[in-house]
Structure 1
Amino acid sequence: MSVNAHYRRQIRALAAPFGVSAAKVDPGQGVAPADTHGVTERDEIMIDMLTLKVNDAAAQVLGMIGALRYTAAPGDLTTGLQERIDCGLRRRGSVLTWADSVGVAEGAPSIFNDLTAWECADTSFHIEDFVQVDVAIVDDAPVISDGDQRTLLLHGFAFALQFSRLVYALSAPSPVRCIVAANDTNATFRFHQIRQGESWNRPDLDAYREDKMIVLDIEPATA
């Protein structure tokens, strides 16, 4: 979906409390560059960058299009989400995962198609386990309202911005993709290193008819 300049500024405002100073536009989807303090386009490779994509379903529930009122993401993470951040990251051979992961990295990708799929399976968690929302049970299945899905997306995005600091702090930084998805049964966060020829999510986020998708690419400076 195309996000106009007004809504790009709103997304950028979300990032401000977390110290994110630069973001770049992905054609047709994304956010405008934040204040780079005089850094020119030629110099952009020298700074840390974030690229944000959302599908139409996420944009609608977040109020980025239409006449819906927009509300900023929470400035502080919940205790449970902060504990995830405090856990930190760890490189284990060819994979990057949570420091407390018990996944068998030595055999990766194991039953999975590639290392990206292994990382996504190992790093995934349910956001509703850490954010208080109403989860009704209907016919033995969980049901989450659109309003609470919105809450989970905002917390997931706030978490992803804090998570970016962990990526930038790695001794050998590499590009990492965060994927936040919410639907009427659950909301998840997962991440993987960005590898040539591998992707967990579909390129066209609007192909996800039942999910509201946020994809944040974290690209540490290369020099």
Structure 2
Amino acid sequence: MFHNVQAVLFDLDGTLIDSAPDLGAAADKMRTDRGMSSLPLDVYRPMAGAGARGMLAKAFAMTPEHPDFPAMREEFFVNYERRMTQLTSIFEEIEPMLLALQRAHLTWGIVTNKSKRFTEPLVSSMVPLSTAAVVISGDTTPFSKPHPEPLLEAARRLNVEPRYCVYVGDDERDIIAGLAAGMTTVAASYGYLGAKADTQAWGAHASINSPSELLQWIGLA
């Protein structure tokens, strides 16, 4: 499955960047603004990949079905937008891994469910990510993962057939989307779900414990 790879696509949060500190802080501010106690980052981190849905679930035990969810989500978005680059960082080993892809003349890009409102400022603020050949946000197409369309759109923009693409993500929906798109899939177990998730059950073609392991799978290490 890793033969003739022409492009490597990545999820963003939990795969390329550790945005949990800023996501958690944005949700925690909502608690403290209401006179509630602050929660430690460890509470928020496992659900950071789920964005507002995950953060509101941890901060207020609120589900999307709650009538106040839309208003609370927008409040969270505003908080996050104001601070989203303060504590967010690129995972260790990501930069040298991306450089290795570039040296091998492999195109790489980003496919995330994060809205363009947040994706573009984040990517442009981090030099290693600004070299992405394509960036597909959650609202670039009418669909978001686990639907395969965002991945298929990335392949179209790169002019690469999906079967020659590898998609790397730290959430089961990433693998579902990648498989549905006909891509080779890699589960990033170093992401937010980590050891608590049975990444083997997702059906990915491979699982990696660190970004550098990806290079082994595609024959660059």
TM, length-normalised to structure 2: 0.26
TM, length-normalised to structure 1: 0.26
